Structure 1
C-alpha cells in the first residue's frame, strides 16, 4: 500500500482551495489539477508499506493541541514539461513542531524520513503551463484569506481507482483530545 501522513481540511476550506484550483486552471495553458477531494497538506510521505498498525502507533504518540493554519501565497516548483503550482502556508511553530515530532517518531520506528527541509504547501496542479505575463504575486494576492483549525492528523492510502488518483483516510489521530 502507498501511504502518507496528512492534514485534511474542512468542507469550507476545501471549497476555497478548490476555487483557487479552478481559477488557476482558467489561467493556465494546460495542466493536471488537483481534485477537490484530494486537496490536503502532506506531513510525511511513507511510500509502499504494509505496516499501517505501526504508523498508527507513531501518530498516537504525537503531542500538541489543535492550532490554526493560514494559507498564504502562491508559488511554483519549476519542472521541465510544466510546473507544480501550490499555495503556501504562513510560518507556524505548531506545524513545524508537529512535523518534527512525526519525523522523529517515524525514524525511531524504522520508516524512511525526508531529509530536505519541510516546505509545507498545498498542491493545486502539476505539469502546469502558465501563460506569458502570468503574475504569481498578483494571483496569490487576489485569493481569499483561508484559515483552518488543525485538529487531527491522518494516515492516508494513495491508489488509482478507475484511472483516478484516490486518497483514502485509514486512520485519524485527534490532537489534544479535540473532536475532528
Structure 2
C-alpha cells in the first residue's frame, strides 16, 4: 500500500530552543511512559494541517501564504506549561504550550485563511497552540496518579524564543526525524 506524504504549516522552533527542550524531554522520558516520543528536531507549533496534496495545489497555497505573511514580523513566544489531550487517566497527546499570543493567533489565522483559499479543507476545531512531545500513554498506573508526585517538578521553566520563521513541512513516515521543512517563510525583523 502506497503511503502519501502529508504537508502542514508550522511555526519553526529555533535550533537553540530545540536543544534546551531536548534536555527537558530526556528528563520527562525517564518518568513518563508514553509509547512514542517526538524527536527533538521535529518540535514545532502546527498552524494548518493540509494532508496529502498535489504539487499544483501546494504551489498555489505557497503563493497565498507568502502574500499573507509579507507584512508579518517575528515575535517572542514563551513556552511555559505542560498539558495533554485525551482522557485524564490515559492521554493520547502530551504537550508543552506557549503563553497566549495575539501575534501567534493572527499569524495562524492568515496562514489558515490562505490554505482555505487554495482549496484545502482544514480542521475546524479551535486553535490550541502546542508542541507535541509524546503520544499514547502506556503506564501501568493512570496518568494522573503517576504524575501526582512530581507534576510541579516536571513543569518547564519559562522558555522564551524568537519565532522568526514559518515552515511548510513534509512528513516522511517511518523516518526519525520525520518532518522536512520544504519551504521557509522568514518573518520581518
Normalising by the residue count of structure 1, what TM-score does the alignment of the two structures yield? 0.87
Residues 36-86 of structure 1: per-residue CA shift (max 9 Å, x gap): 111111111000002221221122112311110000111011258653110
| Residues 31-180 of structure 1 aligned to structure 2 (within 5 Å) | 31-50=35-54, 51-61=57-67, 62=69, 63-79=71-87, 82-129=91-138, 131=141, 132-135=145-148, 137-141=151-155, 143-161=156-174, 163-164=175-176, 166-176=178-188, 178=189
**Greater fraction strand:** 1
Taking structure 1 as reference, are residues 150 and 29 closer, same or farther at Cα in structure 2, changes over 3 Å only? closer
Q: Is the 8 A contact 2:74 2:164 kept in 1?
A: yes
Relative to structure 1, the CA distance from residue 52 to residue 12 in structure 2 (aligned partners, 3 Å threshold; closer, same or farther) is same
Query: Helix, strand or coil for the counterpart of 1:96?
Result: helix
What is the distance in 1 between the residues matched to 2:176 and 2:84?
24
Paired positions, count: 175
Of 9, 12, 15, 2:13 maps to: 9
Superposition CA RMSD, Å: 2.1
Task: Return the TM-score normalized by structure 2.
Answer: 0.83
